Structure 1
Amino acid sequence: MIRNATAEDSDRIVELLAQLGYANTHSFCKERIQELLANPDAMLFCYEIEGSVIALLSLHVIPQIALLGSFLRISYFIVDETMRSHHIGSELEAYATYIAKERGCDRIEVHCHERRKEAHRFYERHGYVESPKYFIKQITY
């Protein structure tokens, strides 16, 4: 079952984030979830089976100034490593596509680190094409 995430899901979300290499998020995760839930252009979903959260999908709608449609960005997409290959990711991807159409988006974008080869194959199977380059500027305080 796909449902809206809540701040009460933060402990499980922290565990899922750790599976993707995002360690030490416990001290701020609950606060970030609350920020996302308050943002009208952000959506955060959990996939739950028998009361257990086994996947997370974070989406953002980003309006474009030079293009007619907005785009939907998949910010985080995590299926518990013990539950992969059970079509849960496909259900969540289809849900993201549904949301994109509902919100008037003309495309979906996702950044996926080059080390995540299995995730690349997943996206390619679902019709995504690689569009390099992606530049990041790290801001330090």
Structure 2
Amino acid sequence: MIRNATVGDANIIVQLLSELGYADTQSFIKERIQELLENPDAMLFLYEYEGKVVALLSLHIIPQIALFGSFLRISYFIVDETVRSREIGAELEALAIKIATERACDRIEVHCHERRKGAHRFYEKNGYKESPKYFIKQLHRSKRRA
């Protein structure tokens, strides 16, 4: 079952994020979830399997100025390693396609670190093409006040 995430799901989201190597999110995760829930161009979904949350999908719609369509960015896509190969990823990806189509997006983009070879195979199997380069400039800022 796919459902919308809530702030009450913070602990399980922290656990899923840790599977991707994002440690120490506990101190700010509730604030981030609330921000996503308030943003009309952001969506956060969880997948429940046998009564347990086992996957997370975070999506953002990004309007383009130089292209006709917007694009949908998969920001985070995590399926618990204990339930991979059960088509859960395919169901969540189908939801992303449905939303992208409904919101007049002309493409879906996802950034996936080079170390995540299994995820690369999933994306390639599902029609995604690699589009290198991706540049990041890390900004250091003070922590937000609660």
Q: How does 1:67-106 map to 2 (within 5 A)?
A: 67-106=67-106
Q: Does 1:129 align with 2:129?
A: yes
Deviation at 1:49, TM superposition (A): 2.1
Q: Which amino acid aligns with 1:60?
A: H
Please give the TM-score of this superposition, normalised by the length of structure 2: 0.95
Report the Cα distance in structure 2 between the residues aligned to 1:68 and 1:84, rounded to whole angstroms: 36
Poorly superposed stretches of 4+, deviation over 6 Å: none
Q: How does 1:1-141 map to 2 (within 5 A)?
A: 1-141=1-141
Report the Cα distance in structure 2 between the residues aligned to 1:50 and 1:115, rounded to whole angstroms: 30
Aligned residues: 141
Partner SS, residue 14 of structure 1: helix
Q: Which amino acid aligns with 2:92?
A: L
Q: Which amino acid aligns with 1:82?
A: T
Q: Which amino acid aligns with 2:45?
A: F
Report the Cα distance in structure 2 between the residues aligned to 1:50 and 1:131, rounded to whole angstroms: 36
Deviation at 1:52, TM superposition (A): 1.5
Deviation at 1:50, TM superposition (A): 3.5
Instruction: Give aligned-pair identity as a percent.
Output: 76
Please give the TM-score of this superposition, normalised by the length of structure 1: 0.98
**Unmatched segments (≥5 aa) in structure 1:** none
RMSD: 0.7
Partner SS, residue 10 of structure 1: helix
**Unmatched segments (≥5 aa) in structure 2:** 142-146
Report the Cα distance in structure 2 between the residues aligned to 1:12 and 1:87, rounded to whole angstroms: 20
